[in-house]
Structure 1
């Protein structure tokens, strides 16, 4: 697996993890502490930022020939 493919897979898995954490923190967490709410908010932000980063990375490296 090339470094480019690994990077795209890693960004995808990271995005899915952030989505899971945000859903868990806001919908399924039994404790509503400040830490859990902060975790959910940060995860929601990064669930949006990671695909944007992935698209920027893909645009940058798609013309690189290995």
Structure 2
């Protein structure tokens, strides 16, 4: 697996983790604290930012030939 492919897989897995944490923090936690709410907000932001970063990365490296 090339470094480029690993990077794309890593961005995808990170995005899925952010989505899971946001859903967990906002929908599945019975006792909501400030820390859980903060985790949910940071995870929601990460779930939006990571795919944008992945698109920019893919556009940058798709023309690189190794």
TM-score band, normalised by the shorter chain?
Answer: over 0.9
The aligned length equals: 66
1:20-66: CA deviation from partner (whole Å, max 9, x where unpaired): 00000000012210000000000000000000000000000000001
**CA RMSD of superposed structures (Å):** 0.4
Residue 9 of structure 2 aligns to a residue whose secondary structure is helix
What are structure 2's unaligned runs of at least 5 residues? none
Q: So what's the TM-score if we normalise by structure 1? A: 0.99
Separation (CA, whole Å) in 2 of partners of 1:31 and 1:39: 14
Separation (CA, whole Å) in 1 of partners of 2:41 and 2:31: 15
Separation (CA, whole Å) in 1 of partners of 2:29 and 2:3: 36
Separation (CA, whole Å) in 1 of partners of 2:37 and 2:23: 11
Q: So what's the TM-score if we normalise by structure 2? A: 0.99
